[in-house]
């Protein structure tokens, strides 16, 4: 897998020019915010507090798979000019594409549930607002941000949010006493502690997220690259991989930091985190008031930023069902945004345990994930869809290995649940 990434980096390495490269950094970071969202916080806090550093390997494995899958999704958007939802609608019969994309809409709603709920929990920590009030305020803010801001402005907001979240966890790590030798070994050593399977699956669902594959294939076209010029397509494919690789590494580092903080602070003190408010309250006496405030602020940032991308993904998927690209002024795109946010709000209203709701929302994503992966593989390996940019045999083999791993983990999860 590592050799493959080196080959890809060499193959897709952009020509020298840091200033030129910076013009293309952005789409990958919008995807990154989706897998450092509140659902990840819940999954990572549970993983670290219950099993210490033992499940860090899952972040590494998930991120390696994510790099390949997100690259494929972006590749589809650049080479075909279609997002994943549009491509499925165009190249599959309706009786296949409609149910398939319906499950993707459910995944987007499940994602939005975690994002909006996380922001509401952050507001509760900072200002003691009731969860449902915080959820409604967050939803209104998200709709206003999407409707009134251009893509470029949203991109800058998201990059700022990702930066704040990253800085917050660097600060938390400085306060913790970390066993770096143990964490380093756990990053590359798979283990399945007793009772860890639901948490492993929630970590997988929190990192490799179906809606992000749809989102990346849509937003990668935001620069409106000229699809008729083969030289331009080749150039953008090179810059896309650099953007994706950089963004995924940032996400890996932040997710790892979450588990490390939880392991160092909670697991070492025999505290099992069962809700994010508990994590914030426990940090206060252990690491000081500032650590708890920063934790809550970072969670709020994560919730707001990832809610925006979840809503855009929902709008993109719904518009794609009708063969249309995402356009916030279009009825189908707006309908998809509303379905995603309102569906999430309704689910939040019926939740009796917000923390378990976050965990199970990620499990729902992991169960839907194979459907999206198989769809992506079929489309990106098709010369009818991709032309000369269709996946090579080697890349297809890697894709099928990833699909097999995800499916196997899902089977293991369902066998535990049922």
Lowest pLDDT segment from 206-215, 298-307, 337-346, 359-368: 359-368
Long-range contacts of 183-189 (CB under 8 A, 24+ apart): 183/53, 183/56, 183/256, 183/260, 183/263, 185/53, 186/52, 186/53, 186/54, 186/55, 186/56, 186/57, 187/56, 187/57, 187/59, 187/60, 187/256, 188/57, 188/60, 189/57
Q: Is the pLDDT of residue 228 over 80?
A: no
The 10 Å CB-count burial string (b at 16+, else e) for 155-180 is bebbbebbebbbebbeebeebbebbe
More reliable by pLDDT, 348 or 21: 348
Integer Cα distance of 298 and 81 in angstroms: 35
CB-based contacts of 248: which residues, under 8 Å, 6+ apart? Answer: 28, 31, 32, 63, 66, 67, 70
Integer Cα distance of 349 and 329 in angstroms: 29
Integer Cα distance of 242 and 14 in angstroms: 7
pLDDT for residue 23: 53
Nearest 5°: phi and psi at 223? -75, -5
Among residues 114, 85, 90, the alpha carbon closest in space to that of 100 is found at 85
More reliable by pLDDT, 129 or 15: 129
pLDDT for residue 226: 45
Lowest pLDDT segment from 190-194, 224-228, 408-412: 224-228
Q: Is the pLDDT of residue 196 over 60?
A: yes
Q: Is the pLDDT of residue 17 over 60?
A: no
Domain carrying residue 9: 2-417
More reliable by pLDDT, 308 or 237: 308
Among residues 401, 408, 348, the alpha carbon closest in space to that of 38 is found at 348
pLDDT average, residue stretch 277-292 = 72
Lowest pLDDT segment from 137-151, 255-269, 348-362: 348-362
- Give the rounded distance of the alpha carbon of 317 from its chain centre: 16
Summarised one tens digit per residue, pLDDT across range 46-72 is 899 999 999 999 999 989 988 999 999
CATH of the domain at 33: 1.20.1740.10
Q: Is the pLDDT of residue 387 over 60?
A: yes
Mean pLDDT of the residues in the chain = 83
What is the pLDDT confidence band of residue 298, given thresholds at 50, 70 and 90? confident
Q: Most confidently modeled of 7-16, 280-289, 343-352?
A: 343-352
More reliable by pLDDT, 385 or 369: 385
Task: Provide the 10 A C-beta neighbour count for residue 194.
Answer: 6
Integer Cα distance of 411 and 201 in angstroms: 10
What is the pLDDT confidence band of residue 151, given thresholds at 50, 70 and 90? low
Q: Most confidently modeled of 296-300, 360-364, 395-399?
A: 395-399
Integer Cα distance of 58 and 64 in angstroms: 10
pLDDT average, residue stretch 265-281 = 79
Integer Cα distance of 402 and 179 in angstroms: 31
pLDDT for residue 14: 44
pLDDT average, residue stretch 297-322 = 91
pLDDT for residue 398: 92
Lowest pLDDT segment from 179-183, 235-239, 330-334: 235-239
More reliable by pLDDT, 123 or 174: 123
pLDDT for residue 5: 46
Q: Is the pLDDT of residue 208 over 70?
A: yes
pLDDT for residue 22: 47
Burial class (CB in 10 A: 0-12, 13-18, 19+), 181: exposed
pLDDT for residue 150: 66
Q: Most confidently modeled of 36-45, 100-109, 217-226?
A: 100-109
Q: Is the pLDDT of residue 255 over 60?
A: yes
Q: Is the pLDDT of residue 116 over 90?
A: yes
What is the pLDDT confidence band of residue 286, given thresholds at 50, 70 and 90? low
pLDDT average, residue stretch 235-241 = 76
Q: Is the pLDDT of residue 315 over 80?
A: yes
Tally of structural domains, the chain: 1
What is the pLDDT confidence band of residue 268, given thresholds at 50, 70 and 90? confident
């Amino acid at each position: 897998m590592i050799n493959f990434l080196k080959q890809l980096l060499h193959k897709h390495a952009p020509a020298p020019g840091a200033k030129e490269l910076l013009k293309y950094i952005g789409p990958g970071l919008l995807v990154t915010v989706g897998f450092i969202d509140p659902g990840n916080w819940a999954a990572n806090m549970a993983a670290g507090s219950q099993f210490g550093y033992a499940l860090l390997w899952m972040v590494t494995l998930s991120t390696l798979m994510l790099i390949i899958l997100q690259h494929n999704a972006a590749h589809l958007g650049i080479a075909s000019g279609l997002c994943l939802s549009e491509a499925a609608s165009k190249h599959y019969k309706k009786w296949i594409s409609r149910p398939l994309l319906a499950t993707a809409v459910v995944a987007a709603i499940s994602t939005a549930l975690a994002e909006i709920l996380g922001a509401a929990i952050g507001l509760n920590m900072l200002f003691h607002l009731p969860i449902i009030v915080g959820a409604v305020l967050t939803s209104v803010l998200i709709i206003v941000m999407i409707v009134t801001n251009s893509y470029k402005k949203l991109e800058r907001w998201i990059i700022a949010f990702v930066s704040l979240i990253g800085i917050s966890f660097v600060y938390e790590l400085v306060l913790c006493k970390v066993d770096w030798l143990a964490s380093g070994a756990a990053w590359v050593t798979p283990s399945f502690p007793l009772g860890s399977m639901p948490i492993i699956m929630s970590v997988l669902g929190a990192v490799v997220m179906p809606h992000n594959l749809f989102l990346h294939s849509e937003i990668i076209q935001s620069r409106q690259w000229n699809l008729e010029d083969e030289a331009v397509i080749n150039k953008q494919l090179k810059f896309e991989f650099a953007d994706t690789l950089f963004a995924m590494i940032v996400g890996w580092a932040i997710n790892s930091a979450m588990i490390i903080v939880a392991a160092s602070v909670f697991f070492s003190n025999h505290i099992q985190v069962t809700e994010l408010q508990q994590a914030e309250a426990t940090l206060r006496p252990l690491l000081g008031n500032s650590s708890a405030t920063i934790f809550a602020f970072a969670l709020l940032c994560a919730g707001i930023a990832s809610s925006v991308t979840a809503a855009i993904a929902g709008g993109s998927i719904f518009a794609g069902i009708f063969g249309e690209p995402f356009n916030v002024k279009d009825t189908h795109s707006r309908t998809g945004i509303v379905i995603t946010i309102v569906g999430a709000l309704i689910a939040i209203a019926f939740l009796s345990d917000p923390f378990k709701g976050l965990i199970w929302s990620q499990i729902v994503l992991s169960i839907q994930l194979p459907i999206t992966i198989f769809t992506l593989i079929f489309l990106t390996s098709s010369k009818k869809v991709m032309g000369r940019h269709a996946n090579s045999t080697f890349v297809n083999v890697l894709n099928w290995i990833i699909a097999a791993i995800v499916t196997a983990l899902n089977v293991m999860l369902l066998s535990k649940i049922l």
